[in-house]
Structure 1
Amino acid sequence: MGNKLRVVTQMASDPYYVYHFLAFFSYFIVRTSVTSLLSPRITHRLFHREIQAILAFSVLIVIKMVKEETRESFIAESLFFAKVFLVAISSIMDYHLALVYIVVFSVIYILTQQPPFEGLGTSSKLTPLQLEALLTEGNTSRYWLVEFRTSCSSPCIRASRCLPELSITYSNKNLSFGIVDLGLFPNAAEKFGISVSASMGHLPTFILFENAAEVKRFPEFKFEEKSSHPPVTKKLLSRHFELDQLLLEYVNGK
């Protein structure tokens, strides 16, 4: 209950959510104001399109609730579909209104960013120097799974919950988790072979180190020539880095 209350409080105070709420709420004000000015034919058509949009949006929401693994990804997809439906319905009243909403949503996109997951689980926020020290000292974990992200990347925001929640399940004396913000330390990107360009699809990048040596990463270098890779999920990361196997090795004392 406390966690849900915290989420609601965050959404009520964050500009990203506040601006979107105001934009969607304005439709009801406009709808009420212009109803008397519309012809019966347009009013009838608008009502039916609104019902269709609500039903279609509800179906999409249910599908996304089943498919999306993180709350951040679910919110992002839901808002996207809501904006598409709002613009489409607004165009029935007046295409100028639809253009206004397109401009409004564009401004919101420029001025605000969807907030990432704020919890860390048992993972640690690290600077590149701290990470290098932890990897080379030799008296810390044998394995380090590190996420390299930026706070202005939509894929990073959508996946921001995965590593912290994995750390709660898999952290032990042999395996630790860390997060490096390349937005704060862009020079570290080249060192680890990561491009911060959105077109390269490198962000977020997850690298598993064993005794300071890179063992595996996601996305792998073979994705470099492509613009996309499978969406980041906890299941994908757990399977790709064989976290269950690493946990079993720790339990069995290997």
Structure 2
Amino acid sequence: MFKEGAGNGFLQLADIAANKCVALYKCSDLVTMKFYANKHPTLATLPHPVGLSISSVKSSTRESEILFFLLIVVVIRTKKTGSVTMINYLTSSFMYNKVANLILWFYADIRLGIIYGILFILFGMLLPEPTYSGPENVVYFRTAAGLEEELQRDKRITWLVVFYTVWNPSCTNFAPVFAQLSAQYVLENLKFGKIDVGRYPDAAKKYGINDSSMSRQLPTVILFKGGKEVTRRPAADDRGKLIKFFFTEDNVKASFDLNQLYSECKANPLKKKKGATENKTDVQNAHIKSE
């Protein structure tokens, strides 16, 4: 009985607080010029004491709403795509800022909006975002069959493979991180690979990766040992729900234990197979005899 009364009291307090918020919002709307302009359209044509008309204030309010909406979109998109560096935030901000400016130009004058839209497209085509051009040791696979063949060719080699698409922002953000990791950890028996599931969807189907535009599995990084999958990111929980994973350098190192993996591979280098060595010796002897 006591719990029920306490619960009812809490609901009443919450209801009162909600009503206060609604009342404050309505009061704040009453003191704005936008309210009077909506109630009395003829007031929009009257001069304002400080030199501003109500129509200009309404226009300014609309522009502010668009800019605040831009800010919200930037925050949500950068969080969704896993943007964790300042460059990623700036890239997203500049892109959505251009879109917001395009809307504002159309809102002010449709002719100016068309001109800005043309310039927007031209600059995007002539000056695209620069791609990573630093050191990397990555093998690019063309088909799922090619990847499987390489995995089975020598099972002593450990592979870390990225399944990606060129149009996905998360894949674009992760590309330089993976390239730097490949240059740092590559060994004869520890290799890094990539395959574009946008161009080769059979690879996505084979390894159970959703390659649609709404996919949360792009990029997917899989570690192969002995020709078989050991672990992947993002992974699914016991209920089959994907666990959110941010593809930062530190997260990838920790999730795949790259430091330990590198030490193990370095301590056990590849030894040339006996048959291959004998064949090479026979070829050299035959070459000497022929001379």
- TM-score, normalised on structure 1? 0.60
Matched, 1:207 2:222: yes
Moved over 6 A (4+): none
- Could you say which residue in structure 2 is the equivalent of 1:155? 170
Residue identity matched to 1:164: A
Query: Does 1:136 pair with 2:136?
Result: no
Name the structure, 1 or 2, with higher relative contact order (CA <8 Å, separation 6+): 1
Cα drift, residue 211 of structure 1? 1.2
Q: Specify the SS of the correspondent of 1:221.
A: coil
SS at match of 1:159: helix
Q: What is the Cα-based RMSD across aligned positions, in Å?
A: 4.1
- Residue of 181, 186, 197 corresponding to 1:166: 181
Which of 157, 160, 180 pairs up with 1:145? 160
**Offset at 1:229?**
2.2
Superposition deviation, residue 169 in structure 1:
0.8
TM-score, normalising length: structure 2: 0.53
- One-letter code of the match for 1:126? F
Match of 1:219 among 234, 237, 244: 234
Could you list the runs of 5+ residues in structure 1 that have no partner in the other structure?
Answer: 1-38
Greater gyration radius: 2
Does residue 249 of structure 2 align to residue 234 of structure 1?
A: yes
Partner residue, 1:79: 94
Give the superposition deviation at 1:155. 1.7
Contact kept in structure 1, 2:102 and 2:117, CA below 8 Å: no
Q: 1:243 to 1:96 in 2, by over 3 A?
A: same
1:178 to 185, 193, 197: 193
Counterpart-to-counterpart distance in 2, 1:118 and 1:224:
37
| Contact 2:233/2:245 (<8 A) preserved | no
The AA in structure 2 aligned to 1:169 is Q
State the identity %. 25
Q: How many residues align?
A: 192
- Distance, in Å, in 1 between the alignment partners of 2:169 and 2:264 is 35
Q: Which residue of 2 aligns with 1:5?
A: none
1:180 to 1:68, Cα distance in 2 relative to 1, 3 A: same
- Structure 1 distance, partners of 2:145, 2:152, is 11
Mapping of 1:1-254 within 5 angstroms?
Answer: 41=52, 68-69=84-85, 71=87, 73-80=88-95, 82-83=97-98, 86=101, 90=104, 94-96=107-109, 100=113, 104=117, 116-117=131-132, 121-127=136-142, 128-138=144-154, 142-222=157-237, 225=241, 229-253=244-268
